[in-house]
Amino acid sequence: MLTGSIQITGEALSGAEIKDICDSLKESSVRLLSVRGCQLSDRDFGRVCRGVAESHSLAQLNLNLGVVSTIGRTKQLADALKANRSLQTLFLHGSPLLDAGLVTLNGALSTHPSLVSLDLGDCMLGDEAVRLICGLFPPDGAKSGLKELTLSANPAVSTQGWARLAIAVAHSSQLRVLNLDYNPLGDHIAGMLAVSVASSRTLEVLDLEGTGLTNQSAQVFLDMVENYPTSLRVLVLAENDISPELQQQISDLLSEGEEEEDKDGEARGSSVTPREKPAWVPHSNSSSSQMVLMTSGLGRLWFDPALPACNVDRFQTLSPSPPSY
């Protein structure tokens, strides 16, 4: 049976609609479920989680914009993830998880057999959460681990927390995309990340938009891409105090490296692109429809027009563009 998608944004969901969603999940007829910014009762949220636990087809789950609003819901989601075996991408952007939420989710995230893409942007995380997230990067490739991670707009993370993440990234055997935009990193942390990029054999996209960087950071990255081999293909430095000339130099060098790889037969496989980002909306305005867009290594999941919609009102088929936050 062909699987489809359910996508609803910013609406109050009735009990009947929740039943339809749960039935589709339990029948394994849904590959993408997105209820971003939707209002549903705690009881109905639990019903959806039980459906996620029983689904054998669900590959992408979008609960962005405050759907996971309490520690109780976080526990229900953790239980669902422990039972589910199909999920590959989980979006929790704009959820008030705090470190306690990551502690609750960690066991399920770290043992999930298929999860490769995780969005924890604007989730009010701190150093303890980052420590747990680092455990999702297996250093030796012996088990599955994250290929894409978003930690945008988590300003409570300290210098020590970001340093820990930089070390984990340097030793990760699988991470390809890292989005740290709109965190107050500064040049010191950027320097650590440059070392991580130089050490990583897999990291292809690094988003540092709006992170308080200056020409000092840009010069470090320029020296790195100019003098050392790197897997990096995209470095986003917009909305920083960096000269356009330096940004262009870095972009040109990365483009040259990508062209050389293309000539060698696209040794790295499918291309990785940065997120399309029309606007940034912080946590306090998370009800807005303007949020960051994200690409994924599961891109074909979003671009296959043959996937039908489930037979539920207001449910949409997959569109030609990735789902937004």
Residue-wise pLDDT tens digits, 202-224: 999 999 999 999 999 999 999 99
Cβ neighbours of 69 (radius 10 Å): 16
Q: Which helix (H) or strand (E) holds 243?
A: none
261: helix, strand or coil:
helix
pLDDT of residue 138: 77
Mean pLDDT, residues 218-240: 94
pLDDT tier for residue 143 given thresholds of 50, 70 and 90: low
Q: Which of 82-96, 104-118, 142-156, 282-296 has the lowest mean pLDDT?
A: 282-296
Task: Calculate the average pLDDT of the chain.
Answer: 83
Q: Which of 72-81, 129-138, 270-279 has the highest mean pLDDT?
A: 72-81
Counting residues of the chain whose pLDDT is more than 90, the rounded percentage is: 72
Mean pLDDT, residues 218-235: 94
pLDDT of residue 297: 33
CA distance 105 to 121: 15
CA distance 237 to 223: 15
Q: Does residue 166 carry a pLDDT above 70?
A: yes
Which has more confidence, 292 or 27?
A: 27
Residue with the two structure tokens 């010069």: 219
> CB pairs under 8 A, 24+ apart, for 138-141?
138/172, 138/173, 138/174, 139/171, 139/172, 139/173, 140/173, 141/173, 141/174
Of residues 1, 59, 5, the one with CA closest to residue 319: 5
For residue 199, the one-letter residue type is S
pLDDT of residue 242: 96
Q: Which of 41-55, 191-205, 236-250, 254-268 has the lowest mean pLDDT?
A: 254-268
Burial class of residue 165, CB neighbours in 10 A (0-12, 13-18, 19+):
buried
Which has more confidence, 99 or 301?
A: 99
pLDDT tier for residue 285 given thresholds of 50, 70 and 90: very low
CA distance 280 to 301: 25
